[in-house]
């Protein structure tokens, strides 16, 4: 675990270049943080993270490619000392649930001041949790499991992280072929996920699937 005097090595994965450039510029003025790399999609981000093994990874919830929660599972499994901090504009129970599921220790909203993010980076680097206040209000700490849990669960909680990513693509009107290309999976695999998603949610129509995703905060209207 890092101490207060150690340099915190950070990787930023976000497809908004203006935000990334702004964060890098600000972090360069903080003697305690070193940005060791940035990426604009999930696949490049994962390769960079596995190569550099940073102390803290800042991930957007919505990333091109495999998806942030999909690579989050791999980061959690392969890099035990790397802490994940999600920085997003989405205040949605299912995204908070998925972040906790991949063992993220932070979830901040993009409306927060940048100083709040710097504070969060230093806090999670020490192994502590850090959430925006509106996120914290949706959580309860389970002392038996020694982890945070979301107050209420929707039907989406029954889906895997990968199925959530597939659902988000489908809800935007993408074809199975387009989703397969985006996620680097076979069309057969996407078809299988699509069937399981609709079965679990009790939805059999693509239009209703899109409406449900919007209601649950998975996609924007």
DSSP notation for 76-97: HHH-TT-EEEEEES---HHHHH
Judged by average pLDDT, the poorest of 53-57, 58-62, 95-99, 155-159 is: 155-159
Domain membership of residue 51 (yes or no) is: yes
Domain membership of residue 1 (yes or no) is: no
67-92 as b/e, with b when 16 or more CB fall inside 10 Å? bbbbbbbebeeebeebbbbbbbebeb
Q: Which of 150, 171, 192 is the last residue of a domain?
A: 150
Q: Does 32 lie in the same domain as 139? A: yes
Q: Does 162 lie in the same domain as 126? A: no
pLDDT tens for 168-183 read 888 888 899 999 998 8
Structure confidence at residue 221 (pLDDT): 60
Structure confidence at residue 154 (pLDDT): 73
Phi, psi of 156 (to 5 degrees): -65, -25
**Structural domains counted in the chain:** 2
Domain membership of residue 144 (yes or no) is: yes
Report the alpha-carbon distance of residue 10 to residue 29 in Å, rounded. 14
Boundaries of domain holding 99: 8-150
- Provide the pLDDT confidence category of residue 38 given band limits of 50, 70 and 90: very high
Q: Which of 120, 135, 150 is the last residue of a domain?
A: 150
Domain membership of residue 202 (yes or no) is: yes
Q: Does 143 lie in the same domain as 161? A: no
Domain membership of residue 221 (yes or no) is: no
pLDDT tens for 137-169 read 999 988 888 889 887 677 888 888 889 889 988
Report the alpha-carbon distance of residue 105 to residue 100 in Å, rounded. 7
pTM higher than 0.75 for the full model? yes
């Amino acid at each position: 675990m890092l101490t207060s005097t150690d340099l915190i090595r950070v990787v930023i994965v976000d497809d908004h270049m203006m935000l990334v450039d702004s964060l890098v510029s600000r972090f360069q003025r903080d003697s305690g943080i070193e940005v060791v790399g940035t990426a604009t999609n999930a696949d490049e981000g994962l390769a960079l993270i596995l190569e550099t093994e940073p102390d803290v990874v800042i991930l957007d919830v919505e990333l091109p490619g495999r998806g942030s929660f999909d690579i989050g599972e791999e980061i959690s499994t392969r890099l035990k000392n790397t802490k994940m901090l999600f920085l997003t504009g989405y205040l949605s129970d299912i995204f908070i649930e998925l972040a906790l599921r991949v063992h993220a220790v932070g979830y901040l909203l993009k409306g927060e001041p940048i100083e709040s993010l710097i504070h969060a980076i230093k806090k999670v680097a020490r192994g502590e949790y850090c959430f925006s206040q509106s996120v914290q209000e949706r959580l309860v700490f389970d002392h038996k499991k020694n982890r945070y849990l979301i107050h209420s669960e929707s039907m989406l909680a029954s889906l895997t992280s990968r199925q959530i990513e597939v659902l988000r693509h489908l809800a935007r009107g993408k074809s199975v072929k387009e989703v397969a290309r985006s996620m680097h999976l076979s069309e057969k695999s996407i078809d299988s996920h699509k069937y399981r998603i609709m079965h679990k949610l009790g939805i059999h129509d693509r239009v209703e699937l899109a409406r449900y995703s919007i209601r649950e905060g998975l996609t924007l209207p």
